[in-house]
Amino acid sequence: MDDFTMYLDEQSQVIRQRVECVLDDEVSRRLFNKTAELAAKLKDPRKIRILAVSDTFGKPTPAARRSLMNNVKRSELYKLAMVGNNPFMRAVISFFLSVGSTGKVRLFENEDDALEWLKK
């Protein structure tokens, strides 16, 4: 199985990601490169919306966490909706919220609610 899949939902203009691995440095780099590639195809590439789904999301490496933080702080990231019930994922969201990305990142239990929030 691949460590992640990703595509641009043309209709909703949302980048959809499914991560099925621990985010190490290599996976993190490939994930962000693919996100940037898809973001360039958005109608408004300055308003990136991402739906990230994972129930197997493990603890990222320190370098992957730094990379994730830097990308979340980018002004082009409009919203990041994370879907999953993984306890570590909830800890990651709490961390993001504690460093000031409150409006950009939210955790959801299902994809429908996440997409609704992303479209607002």
Cβ(67)–Cβ(29) under 8 Å? yes
| For the chain, domain boundaries | 4-119
Higher confidence at residue 56 or residue 119? 119
Q: Which residue has the tokens 């898809």?
A: 38
At the topology level, CATH places domain 4-119 in: Transcription Regulator spoIIAA (3.30.750)
Would you state the pLDDT for residue 117?
96
5-27 residue pLDDT tens:
999 999 999 999 998 887 788 88
pLDDT at 1: 44
- The answer to whether residue 100 scores a pLDDT higher than 60 is no
What residues contact 107, with CB distance under 8 A and at least 6 apart? 81, 82, 83, 84, 89, 90, 93
